[in-house]
Amino acid sequence: MNAGPFVLHRQRRHAAVVTALLMLGSVLLLLLGTGVGSTGFESLFDLRDDPVALQIIRDIRAPRALGAWLAGALLGLAGAIAQGLFRNPLADPYLLGSASGASFGVAVALALIGTTPLATEWLTRLGLTSAAFAGAVAAVFLTLTLARGVQHTLRLLLAGVVVGVVLGALASLIMMLRPEVMLAMQAFMLGSTSFVGWPACALMALVWFVCLLVSAALSPLLDGLSLGEATATSLGLPLTQMRGVLVAVLALATGAAVAQTGLIAFVGLAAPHLVRSMIRSTHRLFMLTSSVMGGALLLSADTLARSLVAPQELPVGVLTAVLGGGYLLWLMHRRAGRPTLS
Amino acid sequence: MMPGSDTAAIETRALRAQLGGVEVLHGIDLRVRRGRWTSVVGPNGAGKSTLLKAVAHLTPHAGAVHLLGADMASMGARERARTLSWLGQNESSGDDLTVWDVAMLGRLPHQAWLAAPSAADYAAVEQALRATQAWEWRERALGQLSGGERQRVLLARALAVGADVMLMDEPLANLDPPHQAHWLAIVRALVEQGKTVVSVLHEVTMALHADDIAIMEQGRLRHHGASGDHATHAALMAVFEHCIRIQPLGDQWVALPRA
């Protein structure tokens, strides 16, 4: 029988086709997201002789669509890493306290900026973004410190829960003491892509690229870990170091997405599951595909959020929660209903 | 001693290990001869699995372990992984990986970082999957296999390493009788190639097929000798509180419950 590099022809080809289709779908979604506005495709037809339409498309819709895709891609990647790292299909990017950390950071920033008369809209935006990022990353490092390293998965998860609850409570406390920040906080916690501009896109693209490269390089660890920690160690993998780097990647990717778009629900959890239902692959391709899937998910949700009740907008986080959760449930029941898993 | 077997494959000195703060290995001095199959037997909780883990450097321990004459503490992780392959029991298994991908993980210690698998890797994986009769399922996911089928894939993963020393913890778990017999043939072939196999086995009759038997009880090595020796049989019956007797059947020894 023919061995050699082509033994897995069918599986590999299928996985490659799915990934390529998802990428193509993402490009189409980007075009659609850029084209569709609160009045349908109107501005697209006026493009040639209406400088305002051009400006809307170039400076608002295009970066917003790309930003939604990138934030989703970061969350999808982070979700795939978290599920591999903790060997738990329920793991999501916010597991190590980053979501509550970001909320806390934003609450503190809002409370502080609210008192400064000099604060311009731009400065507020920058301040909130940095505060969310700093909060998310700091929360993960607090979790690591409390768990005393990355060696014990269970300790890490428990520390993440504790950090999440405590920081969440502190953020709520700030909201109670300063009720005027409540509205802005709520918008952040529901997630929104409406503030994403070109600089934010560039930043997220850079982070995405770096995170994708590093996680691809460390993917053998996640493959090995799926056979158990002892087996992974027996294969000569430096578990502690590689885990540390992957946790850092997880924090960076989540922090970058959360900082620009707030707490988008379910994308990080659902994207890897959807990919898993379509392809079987080692983590290198699995992480890339989950990432592209996350981008496609968030971008479709964002486009829907803008057009469902146009000219009004739904918070995109609400849509991702409803759509992502619904699809996941459907997937679960469809699988459970079958006599044999395929 | 048999000619050519005077180098120890594994040599431990005063090996101690703890589980959850309780010492479960109380200073083990074990010398496993090269090119032989040694079975480790003993009652539940005797420390058999911990011994294998400590030898493979997978659990913290005190005392020295030498692998083919070299101090394991001074070996690099990859070199160690190439020389010694370990098959655990009740480890989680990657349900989403294909059988092929799982077996290929056994080649990790041989692959340069980020490098694609070489022709040698492909050959070793195919050979291992064929040896355990798992080749036909190579495109299926591990999650789609039964317990026994999965065990054969995990065995193939351990074989694919191509290490000189193999440690197997309960390798017969979930295997039906034909595949247990097949496993015996695989181990015999490995030993004929000069490899060393150490297996923890629950079934005393299966363990009696080995060249040597190491008998453990309460974290100590009670006896270590050839499986055909009368002293070994006596130690086996003593350690199982004389609930079994060992009798010849054809050219084999069998352990039977004492009626």
SS3 state of residue A172 = helix
List the single best residue of A10, A85, A234, A340 to mutate versus B (max B Cβ within 10 A). A234
User: With contacts defined as CB-CB under 8 Å, which chain B residues touch A236?
Assistant: 76-82, 108-109
Contact A72, A299 (CB under 8 A): yes
Work out whether the CA dihedral A299, A303, A308, A314 comes out positive or negative.
Answer: positive
pLDDT at B126: 94
Strands B22-33 and B8-19: antiparallel
Which one-letter amino acid corresponds to residue A110?
L
For residues A122 and A317, what is the distance between their CA atoms, to the nearest angstrom?
Answer: 23
Structure tokens at B108: 């990790």
DSSP B166-218: EEEESTTTT--HHHHHHHHHHHHHHHHTT-EEEEE-S-HHHHTTSSEEEEEET
For residues A260 and B235, what is the distance between their CA atoms, to the nearest angstrom?
Answer: 70
- Mean pLDDT, range A77-99, rounded to an integer: 89
User: With contacts defined as CB-CB under 8 Å, which chain B residues touch A281?
Assistant: 101
For residues A239 and A241, what is the distance between their CA atoms, to the nearest angstrom?
Answer: 6
Which one-letter amino acid corresponds to residue A103?
S
| Closest among B212, B150, B153, B209 to B181, alpha carbons compared | B209
pLDDT at A298: 93
- Mean pLDDT, range A296-304, rounded to an integer: 92
| Closest among A36, A40, A28 to A57, alpha carbons compared | A36
Counting residues of chain A whose pLDDT is more than 90, the rounded percentage is 42
CATH number of the domain enclosing B41: 3.40.50.300
Whether residue B88 and residue A230 make contact (CB cut-off 8 A), yes or no, is yes
Higher pLDDT, A126 or B178: B178
* pLDDT, tens digit (0-9, with 9 covering 90-100), for A134-161: 999 999 999 999 998 777 888 888 999 9
The topology under which CATH files domain A44-335 is ABC transporter involved in vitamin B12 uptake, BtuC (1.10.3470)
- Mean pLDDT, range A203-208, rounded to an integer: 94
Strands B196-200 and B165-169: parallel
pLDDT at A2: 41
Residue in B53, B95, B157 nearest the CB of A230: B53
Q: Which residue of A has its CA nearest to B138?
A: A8
Contact A182, A307 (CB under 8 A): no
- Mean pLDDT, range A170-183, rounded to an integer: 88
pLDDT at A9: 65
Q: What is the largest CA-CA distance in chain B?
A: 59
Mean pLDDT in chain A? 85
Whether residue B108 and residue A10 make contact (CB cut-off 8 A), yes or no, is no
Whether residue B58 and residue A233 make contact (CB cut-off 8 A), yes or no, is yes
Contact A241, A248 (CB under 8 A): no
- Mean pLDDT, range A253-282, rounded to an integer: 89
Buried b (16+ CB within 10 A) or exposed e, B1-13: eeeeeeebbbbbe
Q: Does residue B219 lie in a domain region?
A: yes
Whether residue B122 and residue A4 make contact (CB cut-off 8 A), yes or no, is yes
pLDDT of residue A339 exceeding 80, the answer is: no
pLDDT at A4: 46
SS3 state of residue B253 = strand
Beta-ladder partners of B216: B221
**So what's the ipTM on this one?**
0.91
Contact B58, A233 (CB under 8 A): yes
Contact A202, A70 (CB under 8 A): no
For residues B187 and B201, what is the distance between their CA atoms, to the nearest angstrom?
Answer: 13
Q: Which residue of B has its CA nearest to A5?
A: B122
Q: Which helix (H) or strand (E) holds A241?
A: helix A239-261
Q: Which residues, at least 6 apart from B4, have a Cβ–Cβ distance to it below 8 Å?
A: B34, B35
Please report, for chain A, the start and end positions of each structural domain, with discontinuous segments joined by +. 44-335
pLDDT of residue A255 exceeding 80, the answer is: yes
Which one-letter amino acid corresponds to residue A275?
V
CA torsion angle for B233, B239, B244, B250 (degrees, to 10)? -20
Structure tokens at B103: 């077996």
Q: What is the pLDDT along chain B (259 residues), one digit of tens a residue?
A: 344 446 799 999 999 999 888 999 999 999 999 999 999 999 998 999 999 999 999 999 999 999 998 999 899 999 999 999 999 986 776 788 899 999 999 999 999 888 888 999 999 999 999 999 999 999 888 888 888 899 999 999 999 999 999 999 999 988 899 999 999 999 999 999 999 999 999 889 999 999 999 999 999 999 999 999 999 999 999 999 989 999 889 888 999 888 7
Interface of B with A (CB under 8 A): 53, 56-58, 76-82, 84-86, 88, 91-98, 100-102, 105-106, 108-109, 113-114, 117, 119, 122-123, 126, 138-139, 141, 143-144, 154, 157, 161
Q: Does residue B97 lie in a domain region?
A: yes
Contact A102, A263 (CB under 8 A): yes
B157 vs A285, B80, B82, B130, B133, CA distance in Å? Answer: 21, 16, 13, 12, 12
* pLDDT, tens digit (0-9, with 9 covering 90-100), for A213-238: 999 999 999 999 999 889 999 999 99
Q: Which residue has the tokens 């694609």?
A: B116
Q: Does residue B2 lie in a domain region?
A: no
For residues B20 and A239, what is the distance between their CA atoms, to the nearest angstrom?
Answer: 21
For residues B173 and B87, what is the distance between their CA atoms, to the nearest angstrom?
Answer: 12
Residues spanned by the domain of B116: 8-257
| Structure confidence at residue A315 as a pLDDT band (50, 70, 90) | confident
Angle CA A272–A274–A278, to nearest 5: 110
Long-range contacts (CB closer than 8 Å, 24 or more residues apart) made by B171-177? B171/B87, B171/B199, B171/B201, B172/B201, B172/B202, B172/B203, B172/B206, B173/B89, B173/B147, B174/B146, B174/B147, B174/B148, B174/B150, B175/B148, B175/B151, B176/B148
Q: Which residues, at least 6 apart from B148, have a Cβ–Cβ distance to it below 8 Å?
A: B174, B175, B176, B179
| Closest among B222, B201, B198, B202 to B212, alpha carbons compared | B198
Q: Which residue of B has its CA nearest to A340?
A: B144
Work out the angle between the directed axes of helices A121-146 and A153-177 (0-180°, nearest 10): 140
For residues A64 and A194, what is the distance between their CA atoms, to the nearest angstrom?
Answer: 6
Which one-letter amino acid corresponds to residue B231?
A
Strands B165-169 and B212-217: unpaired
Q: Does residue B200 lie in a domain region?
A: yes
- Mean pLDDT, range A123-132, rounded to an integer: 80
Q: Does residue B1 lie in a domain region?
A: no
List the single best residue of B59, B102, B108 to mutate versus A (max A Cβ within 10 A). B108
Structure tokens at B13: 């000195």
For residues A147 and A157, what is the distance between their CA atoms, to the nearest angstrom?
Answer: 8
CA torsion angle for B108, B114, B118, B124 (degrees, to 10)? 10
Question: Which alpha helices (H) appear in A262-315, and where do they start and end?
Answer: 267-278, 283-307
- Number of structural domains (chain B) is 1
pLDDT at A338: 47
For residues B12 and B30, what is the distance between their CA atoms, to the nearest angstrom?
Answer: 5
Whether residue B84 and residue A234 make contact (CB cut-off 8 A), yes or no, is yes
